Structure 1
């Protein structure tokens, strides 16, 4: 896979260049590259709808074919990772209105797989405010006056990773607004509070439509973005919840470009999106889909931007002489939920994390707002 050096564009508004609440940020060449909003309106929590997850027009190849092709995948650099951090668990609870208008569906019985024949296990997380599940959360935002939900997770005390399609319209330089992140959201409970966003960063190639995609605007190489949160009394939520690390360039993948992953998110088709949902599956890198990772999943709209993790949750105590194996670093995000396959295929996909997308975004966020990362 060819490494793509990305420029970063920072945004935090939708076509509001003259918004009195926004401070315009320009590049040295004079181009608008961002907005820092001093004030934002809260989303409509009770009526927020799932933001549509981009849908692929055809299922991916069978698992056996992906395994064979995986040996030919060339990652763009040496596998690497950045460690996360633990929080103190202190709670600052708030209560949000619950969306009661959505229909709750029955969960399917196991074993779980669809027409794509990729096995997975999807389960309800209860409670979501325990252990490392609390690092993930629900994102509320506004597009054209309507409120929507996506998912995301902390990768620094005040920096959230999510999907680019949850912050901007592909190829149009059109951005949404008023993002709020609620870690460990559960049925209206916000045990660690709700956090507004002061800036958003996304790859310029995704924003201007030059990002390589096997299906334009749907299956793309760099569908990833970060939210930089506003501090409260000088503190960020990661100090309470902890934050994930991340892995790039195939960290955690085997020689056939496979990875065992855990997907967290808030799909509205499951438990009305009011509870965190977990999926465990085997992911395979698909060279015909710009090296996106493909995996089986029951999750749908609302799960976009949720973390795909390796070595998730608490570690175990090993007897003397028992090795942890290779690349056993825990709680690393290696992708965010980006697209869903055709109906009944029960598969999803994510852009591969590289130094040029996720690391570039987080580093830029930390350079702009060092206190959000320290």
Structure 2
């Protein structure tokens, strides 16, 4: 896996049979299905059309890098050369195959006049009409501008068929499964209330996207197409082997390969041990990608317990929020969201 579906008597008889059937409990023809939501369908197509290959080519990572001395974070700064990680894990290598390749994907969105790229993962839900995706809060909400991302689109298993970023043609039609677009983004109020990416933001840097039908046919459900990975909402003990995935797009990566890191789970001492850390050299673009513990290499399946959130200048570590009851409240609300929502 590594690298790896005209006569009166006749009318009278029909009525009598129908009544008899109802009394005896016979099956009754089900009501007709509701008409498709034309508004949602047209908005989905608008976003698909918006993301032309040239716009995708212009999308940049939304990468927050902190100064461990001051605890302040900057968006897409010039990064210092990273130092070594610790332990004997994998800092960054190509991954192919298994469920995780299908369920992890690239995210494209617009925010404050810029096109951005992040990563995300499909999680289970109880709805038959929508699917739910986990990503980072900063890939759904702009703290500085106090606005939601727009034109939010998910491309699962992008690595299997990276679309050539030429100026013509359809971007999504060239991918292996096609694309799904967000009808709603659900973020945490304690994240959204911050006017910058700060310590409080790091603790709540998670969000869920709700997507309807899409894909190459325009009518496929995401979760039934690619599968899902379970998610849990309690803290994982230090020392557990943890696997991180994403689509890093900043050098030395180019955003076209699914990259993974594997290492021992720790806590961020610069953040009062309130967030996780794992040694990794993945770069910007991986934000929102899933963390698994445990994880089964042979099947590419596991349990999501965090996500790629931030890093520090000069260090080869990725950090992620500790998913909790607040995260679960967002997750529970996402399948029925009728539009963007901020929840406490």
How high is the TM-score relative to the length of structure 1? 0.63
Asked if 1:264 corresponds to 2:230, the answer is no
Question: Which structure 2 segments of 5+ residues have no match?
Answer: 1-37, 71-81, 126-130, 164-173, 339-344
> Deviation at 1:314?
5.6
Cα distance in 2 between the residues matched to 1:52 and 1:22: 30
Residue in 2 that maps onto 1:365: 334
Matches within 5 A, 1:219-258: 220-232=202-214, 235-250=220-235, 253-254=236-237, 257-258=238-239
> Deviation at 1:361?
1.1
Residue in 1 that maps onto 2:169: none
**Structure having the larger proportion of residues in helix:** 2
Query: Is the Cα–Cα contact under 8 Å of residues 150 and 302 in structure 1 kept in the other structure?
Result: yes
> Deviation at 1:211?
10
Distance 1:281 1:139, change over 3 A: same
Render the CA deviation track for 1:272-303: whole Å, top value 9, x for unaligned: 11111111111212365151001111101100
Matches within 5 A, 1:3-14: none
Matches within 5 A, 1:67-106: none
Query: Is the Cα–Cα contact under 8 Å of residues 205 and 321 in structure 2 kept in the other structure?
Result: yes
Matches within 5 A, 1:280-299: 280-286=262-268, 288-289=270-271, 291-299=274-282
Cα distance in 2 between the residues matched to 1:234 and 1:44: 21
Of residues 57, 61, 82, the one that matches 1:51 is 61
Runs of 4+ in 1 over 3 A off after TM superposition: 36-41, 115-120, 210-214, 232-235, 313-316
Distance 1:117 1:280, change over 3 A: closer
How high is the TM-score relative to the length of structure 2? 0.68
Residue in 2 that maps onto 1:159: 132
Bigger Rg over Cα: 2
Residue in 2 that maps onto 1:332: 303
RMSD between aligned alpha carbons?
3.1
Residue in 2 that maps onto 1:194: 179
Residue in 2 that maps onto 1:356: 326
Of residues 171, 177, 181, the one that matches 2:154 is 181
Query: Is the Cα–Cα contact under 8 Å of residues 263 and 279 in structure 2 kept in the other structure?
Result: yes
Residue in 2 that maps onto 1:303: 286
Question: Which structure 1 segments of 5+ residues have no match?
Answer: 1-20, 24-35, 61-112, 317-329, 370-374
Render the CA deviation track for 1:258-280: whole Å, top value 9, x for unaligned: 33211110101244111111111
Of residues 121, 126, 143, the one that matches 2:111 is 143
Of residues 316, 325, 342, the one that matches 1:346 is 316
Matches within 5 A, 1:105-124: 114-115=83-84, 117=86, 119-121=88-90, 122-124=92-94
Distance 1:22 1:147, change over 3 A: farther
- Where relative contact order (Cα < 8 A, 6+ residues apart) is larger, the structure is 1
Cα distance in 2 between the residues matched to 1:59 and 1:303: 24
Query: Is the Cα–Cα contact under 8 Å of residues 184 and 337 in structure 2 kept in the other structure?
Result: no
> Deviation at 1:131?
3.1
Which range moved further: 203-212 or 286-295? 203-212
